[in-house]
Amino acid sequence: MKFLLTAIFVFNFLKMTGQAPFEKIYGGINAESLRSVAVTSSGQFIAGGTTQSFGNSTINSPDYYLIKTNMNGGTLWTKTFGDSSDNYGRNVLETTDHNYVMSGYSYNLLNNSYDFYVVKTNTDGVKIWERYFGGIYTEMLYDALAISGGRIILCGSTLSFGNGGNDIYLVEIDSAGNILRENSIGEAGNEVAVNMEPMKDGGYAITGYTNSFTPDYDIYLVETDSDLNVKWSRNFGANGNDYGYDVKEDNQSNLILLGDWENSLDTSNIVFIETDSLGLNPFMKFPGSHEGDLGFSLNKTSDNGFVIAGYTQVPGKGSEMLLLKIDSNGDTLQNNHFGGIKNEVAFNAIPLSDNGYLIAGETEGFGIYNLDGYLVRVDSQVTIPCPDSITFITSSDELCEDEHVFFTNTTVSSQDFTWLQDGAYVSGTDDAAIFFNESGEYNITLEACDQYSSAFIKVNPKPPTSFSYSVSNDSTIFKLNPAVIPASIYWNFGDGTTDTSHLNPSHLYAYPGMYWVLLSVVDSNGCDSLFKNQIDVLSGIDNLTAEKCQFFIYPIPSAGEINILWKNFKSGSSKLQVLNVTGELVAEIPITGDAGNDKILMPYPGIYFINVGAGVDFFRQKLIIQ
C-alpha cells in the first residue's frame, strides 16, 4: 500500500549556548570516517567506520576502523579489520554478552562481489571471530541489532537470494557467528534495508527503499515477526526518489521514519513520517534548515522526542554536521550545525544520560591531511564546544619584507576564531595569510573562547641595493652601494651578458647606447633585493680630441645634416659610424689622412651615436637629430 503525502515545511533556527564537552578527530594521512557510535556498559565509547591509513588498508582498499575512547574522547585503543580488498564498516554495537561486534561489507575477490562482513571482539578489541555471509552475487550490510543471548540480527540487501533485483536480506546469528535463520524480502524490483528497530510485540520494523511499485524509489517500511517473516509492508512517496534511513518505535507503539524526500529534480528535504503500529495513518513534516539537508540517523530522547543527525549545506563552504532536536510531533526544537572550514557529515547521534549527545561522522575541516573520523560530545543545548587548547602552524617564522606568512589553524573546534597582530584584529577566518611589508618582530595570536596561542614572527629588512657607474673610454665601471653585504650577487648588463663573481665589475659594451642594468643581491638572511637603472654608454668625442687629434662634429643638436671635421689625425686610416639606439648601422664614412671633412644627411629625427675608431680605442658621442 502506497501513501501519497503532503505537508507544510517547518524551518526553525535556535541560538546555541552553553559549554560542550569535546570535539575530537581520529585518523592518519589518508581518509577515515566514523559511521556508528555506542556507549559501552562500562561507560566508555566505541566508534566504528572505515580507514585508509592503518592496518591492511590503502588509499584504494579501506579496512574496518574500530576505536574505543574514554568519556572525554581520549583514545584507549584502535583496531583495524579486513583483508587486502575493500572493507566498509557501517555499524558497531555491544552485544548482550558484553563483547563488541562491527559489521559492514567486504569485497570477495573470488566472486568479484560484496558480502556481509561481521567481526566480534572482546572489550580490548581482540578479535574473537570473523564471518562472511552471502551468495555468489553482492550483499551489502547497513545495520545490525543486538538481541538477547548474544545474538545479532544483520540487515541489508542481496542480489543472490529472493525475487527480482536487490532484495532485503536479514540474517540472525548466534554468539559464535553461526546462522540461526535468514530471510529475503522483496518484489520484482529493488528493495534495500538500511535500518531496523526491535518492536514491543517481539518483531522488527525495517526501513529502506523500493522501486517495485513505482518507477522511482519510495520509502519502504516492513514489519517482521521474531522469526524474520513478513507481517506487512508499506511504501511512501510522491513524484521523485524517496529513501528511508532510520526507524524507531515511540512509547505509543507508533512508528517514526526518517528519510529523504525529493521535491523536484536534484532537490530534497529531510522527512519525518509518523504512522501507527501497522504502518497506517501516516503524516509527515520536514524538519531542517533548507532544501538539501539530509538526515541519516534517528534516536529517541528521554523527553519522548527525537534527535536527528546528518548534514546541512552552508553557502561558500560545503556541508556541516547537522543535529536536529525534534519533539514527538516532528516539530523542530533545536537546529544546530557545526564543523571546520570544509565538509562535515554526521552519520550517527545518540542521547547520553546527561541529556547531551554523542555524534559520529567525518570531517575535512580540521586535519592537515584528508578526511578524518569526527567524534563530538555536546551538552543538552548542543553548544559548540570550546577547545581545551589552541594550536596553529605557520609557513615560516622568519622571513623578509614584502612576503606573506600563511597561518593554518590545527585546533579541533567549530568555534569562531580571531587572529591578532600585536593585539590588533587581523582576521576572523579559521586560517589566515598576513603580508609583512616592514621589518621587525611581530606577535601573532589566535583566540577562541578564553583560550589563545601565540607565535613570534621575525621580518628581516631587504638589502638596500643600488649602484653607481662611470665610463672611462670603452669601459663602464659599476660600483655597488657599500652598505650592501651580499651573500650572492647577480649583474645583468642589459646587453645579454651577466656577472655573478664581482661586486664592482667593469664591463665593455660593444656599442654605445642606453642599457637597462639589473642588479640582484641576496644577503645572509636570504632576503633578496632588486635594483634596475638605465645607463648611457658613451666614451665621448671630447676624449678623442684631447688625446689623439682635433675632431669636431657640428651642429649638435642638428636639424638633419651634420658636418665632420678632423685635423692632425695620427692614427692612420679609420672610420666613423652612426648607430641608432638599437645598435644598427645608419651611416659610415672613412677617416683618412691627417685632416679632412665630410657631411652626413640623417634621414629621421631621433637619438643616434657616433662611433669613431682610433687605433685600438673607440670613442663615442651622442647625437640628437631634431
Q: Sign of the CA dihedral 437, 441, 444, 450?
A: negative
Domains and CATH numbers, the chain: 2-378 (2.120.10.30), 392-460 (2.60.40.10), 467-537 (2.60.40.10), 541-625 (2.60.40.3080)
Quick one: pLDDT at residue 3? 38
Q: Tell me the CB-side half-sphere exposure of residue 598, using CA atoms within 13 A.
A: 16
Q: What sign does the CA torsion over 424, 430, 435, 439 have?
A: positive
Q: How far is CA 428 from the centre of its chain?
A: 18
d(CA 26, CA 69): 11
More confident residue, 94 or 566: 94
pTM exceeds 0.85? no
DSSP 516-570: EEEEEEE-TTS-EEEEEEEEEE---HHHHHHHT-EEEEESSSBSSEEEEEEES--
Is pLDDT above 90 for 89?
A: yes
Sequence letter at residue 436: F
Task: Flag whether pLDDT at 571 surpasses 80.
Answer: no
Residue 610: the pLDDT is 78
Q: Give the mean pLDDT of 534-550.
A: 60
Q: Is the peptide bond before 555 cis (omega within 30 degrees of 0)?
A: yes
pLDDT of residue 10: 31
Q: Which of 338-347, 465-474, 476-485 has the lowest mean pLDDT?
A: 465-474
The predicted model gives 541-559 an average pLDDT of 62
Task: Give the C-alpha separation, 172 to 153, whole Å.
Answer: 4
Cα separation values, 25 from 64, 372, 591, 600, Å: 17, 6, 88, 85
| pLDDT at site 365 | 77
d(CA 370, CA 340): 13
Backbone angles phi, psi at 422, to 5 degrees: 50, 40
Q: 3-state DSSP call for residue 38? A: strand
- For the sheet with 127-133, list strands across it: 87-94, 100-108, 113-121, 127-133
Q: Could you say which DSSP state residue 383 is in?
A: P
Q: Which residue has the cell 559489521?
A: 103
pLDDT band at 514 (very low <50, low <70, confident <90, very high): confident
- Supply the mean pLDDT for the chain: 88
Q: pLDDT tens across 297-326, in order? A: 999 999 999 999 999 988 877 889 999 999
Q: Which pLDDT score is estimated for 13?
A: 28
Above 70 in pLDDT, residue 582?
yes
- What's the farthest any 2 CA atoms get from each other in the chain? 130
Task: Quote the pLDDT of residue 370.
Answer: 80
Q: Which CA distances in Å does 237 have to 241, 262, 283, 524? A: 8, 9, 12, 72
What pLDDT does residue 17 have?
35
Q: Tens digit of pLDDT for each residue in 417-458?
A: 999 999 999 999 889 999 999 999 999 999 999 899 999 999
Band (pLDDT 50/70/90 cuts) for residue 252 is: very high
User: Measured between alpha carbons, how far is 541 from 576 in angstroms, rounded to an integer?
Assistant: 11
The angle subtended at Cα 60 by Cα 58 and Cα 64, nearest 5°, is 60
**pLDDT at residue 393 greater than cutoff 90:** yes
- pLDDT value, residue 595: 77
